[in-house]
A and B are shown apart, each in its own frame.
Chain A
Amino acid sequence: MRLTLLLACIAMTASSVALSQSADEIMEASQRAYYFAGKDAKGMLKMALIDRKGNTRQRVLTMLRRNHENSGEQKYFMYFHEPSDVRRLTFMIWKYPKRDDDRWIYVPAVDLIRRIAAEDKYSSFVGSDFSYEDVSGRDLSEDTHSLLDDETLDDRNVFVIESIPLAPAAFTRRVSWIDKEHFLPLKIEYYDAQEQLQRIFTANVIEDIAAGEGDDRRVHPTAMKRTMENVRTGHRTEVIVTSVNYDVGLSDDDFSERHMRRPPREWIR
């Protein structure tokens, strides 16, 4: 009896804590879990680009990310292994919280490094259903967020959050189903100006990835399989994380023109 009461108390406390969390706080926690896990990360991704008829194109890339300690800035590096016409191509993004990102591309066939306009954030990332913004995250201050509901999705307790852009964006409304335990988004729906469903993101497989040892040991729940489906075109992109490591010790200087041209072997092999 006493135990039940205790449990009820704990449950009540937990739910009141949860309720007191504002939509902004939930979205911030979600962004931290999805885009900022660890001090840095190194992963290998396989992207399958599948059209309505089932024709599949494939991209294989190594992605590195490093968070700046407290400014909210991040650096991203991507190296393409496949398809072969873009093999050795690299991308670098320096992401800032309040202004446009710096982006570079390296075209190995002519040994050329070029800036890419950051306005491209709504453009498709390498022909997939993900935009550049989906890959590296959208500033939370660009939208207003409100908590619509608490519910369960596939037996997981989730917050349902609606985000409305303050300035015109690629979508007019976005609804996110965010896991109450690890705060990863399990599903996101994007709507257009006609209130029509445009795209659906789903995190299909989530695994705990451990980093560090002893007191430094942390566990980062990670979406190992993600899908973005365009409801209108029937085109979808499945991303499978074939390997991921956190806190690998990347330094700020690693995200440089030097390494775009010649990435260290340990990054890409």
Chain B
Amino acid sequence: MRWTAATILTSVMALSGPTLSQELGDDFGVDIESFLLGTYTRRTSGKSPEGHKFILAEERLRLDLSVWSENIEAEARVKLDGVHDSIAGEFDIDLREAYLDYSAGNWDLRLGRQIATWGVGDLLFINDVFPKDWVSFFSGRPLEYLKLGVDSARVNYSTSALNVEFIIVTDFRPDTLPTPRRFFLHDDFSSIAERMQVYPDTGLDNPELALRMYRRIGGFDASAYAYRGYWRSPSQAPDDYDVPTQMTYFFPRLSVYGVSAQGQAMGGILSLEGGYYDSRDDNAGVNPAIDNSEVRFLLGYQRQLSEDFTIGVQYYAEIMIDFGAYERALPTVSTPRNKYRDIATVRLTRFLKYQTWLLSLFAFYSPADQDYLLQPQVDYKVSDAFSATLGANLFGGEKQTTFLGQFDRNDNLYLTLRYDF
């Protein structure tokens, strides 16, 4: 069902009389869109730590409401999901985005909870410093759920010579990471029962700041980025490395400086990105609980192999600074990381039958960690309103201690059903 301004107008007229509705009709437009989304993700290798066969079994009802002015460039929008989690037996509201837009001249303003995506990587992020939901990603929710909104103010200034985008985040939001309740995970300190999280004390007086400047240079879309804030994934510090009784999760300070470029080359699209991660709470690299500073870069190339069939490949690496200091400071109980951690990815996508069928495969492989993730997926659009997706997350690796290797026992198969109305 698509609600037009006229439908709303009629409803409002019935409720509040002709005067108000007349004003609303002339000055504002309204639109409501909805969908129902079911996601059912079954483990293929035994039950979860909590004894469930399903990682996800949930229904979401999306309401997406927009109200805009007919006179000025202004719009208000709310996107929220009512969520029924069948495993926990709970209902919840997930406020995905809620913001006000206003544009005038060269300026654009967006105020409120909003999703932002920066950088040129395909599911590999360097200058995209915004929070992500890795549980959604590892368990079959549609891709839009990988990104989490941040409560922030975004200002854009656009000219033909340079574009500037500035985001002030007033409320720190961490990545959503898999928990030991639904996933088997590696934990060097698994015996510790008492755990606590400490969030950064952000607010109007201590916001996260993210800056992006971009323009075209020599046919490429070039961007420069700067971020001052915090690591999105927590560091963990036990009260005592020898006899730990309590674990504290906290988010150290982080600055990121980077660049990216994307454009045509060799009959395809070439992507380049790099960044310096300045771990400001441990510049010398001597605190074992805090990630050291890093240099990260990625190189990507995408092209069409034949009609409706494309391939994308990427190579990504993280190089730890002060690796010697890290090794010296590492407690014996902790599993050491490599100085150099790299990932190669391949994405294949094939459309069939007038794009009603989409077959895709996304594969991550880390040569340094010798672990992998395979994501095969079949998507079928039954009609404009109804679609079904069947896919899998298949993890593995030489060791159970590496990032993807630890998920070895979490292989899963998922079915999502979406109905738009």
Contact = CB atoms under 8 A, between A and B. Distances in A.
B117 A123 contact: no
Given A109-B144, A116-B269, A124-B355, A269 B158 contact: no
Contacts of A253: 160
Given A102-B264, A117-B268, A124 B354 contact: yes
Contacts of A209: none
Contacts of A256: 158
A262 B154 CA distance: 13
A119 B342 CA distance: 29
Contact of B163 (A83, A109, A258, A262): A258
Contacts of B20: none
A30 B72 CA distance: 40
B143 A110 contact: yes
A84 to B, nearest CB: 4
Contact size class for B? 35 or more
B264 A118 contact: yes
B110 to A, nearest CB: 8
B384 A110 contact: no
Nearest to A251: B160
A32 interface: no
Contacts of A114: 262
Given A51-B354, A83-B384, A258 B156 contact: yes
A127 to B, nearest CB: 4
Contacts of A85: 35, 384, 387, 418, 420
Contacts of A109: 115, 143-144
A122 B307 contact: yes
A115 B300 CA distance: 12
B354 A119 contact: no
A49 to B, nearest CB: 6
A129 B355 CA distance: 11
Nearest to B130: A111
Nearest to B122: A114
A88 to B, nearest CB: 9
Contacts of A262: 101, 103, 108
Contact of B147 (A51, A110, A123): A110
Interface in B402-421: 418, 420
A100 interface: yes
A89 B297 CA distance: 29
A264 to B, nearest CB: 7
A257 interface: yes
A102 B156 CA distance: 23
Given A57-B383, A111-B115, A116-B269, A123 B308 contact: yes
Contacts of B355: 124, 126-127
A232 interface: no
A118 B264 CA distance: 8
Interface in A51-94: 51, 55, 57-58, 82-85, 87
Contact of A265 (B73, B114, B163, B268): B73
Nearest to A253: B160
Contacts of B307: 122-124, 170
A128 interface: yes
B29 to A, nearest CB: 7
B87 interface: no
Contacts of A269: 29, 68, 70
Contacts of B356: 127
A201 to B, nearest CB: 17
A111 B387 contact: no
A120 B158 contact: no
Nearest to A269: B29
Interface in A20-51: 49, 51
Contacts of A112: 117
A96 B389 CA distance: 38
Interface in B365-406: 381, 383-385, 387
Interface in B175-214: 214
Contacts of A128: 354
Contact of B268 (A82, A119, A257): A119
16 contacts: A83-B384, A84-B35, A84-B385, A84-B420, A87-B33, A110-B146, A111-B114, A111-B116, A115-B221, A115-B271, A123-B308, A127-B351, A127-B355, A265-B70, A269-B68, A269-B70
Interface of B: 2, 29, 33, 35, 68, 70, 73, 101, 103, 108, 114-117, 143-144, 146-147, 156, 158, 160, 163, 214, 219, 221, 262-264, 267-269, 271, 302-304, 307-308, 310, 351, 354-356, 381, 383-385, 387, 418, 420
Nearest first, the 5 A-B pairs at minimum CB distance are: A127-B355, A109-B144, A83-B384, A119-B304, A84-B420
Given A126-B355, A269-B68, 11 more contacts: A83-B384, A83-B385, A110-B147, A112-B117, A115-B262, A123-B304, A127-B351, A235-B354, A262-B101, A262-B103, A265-B68
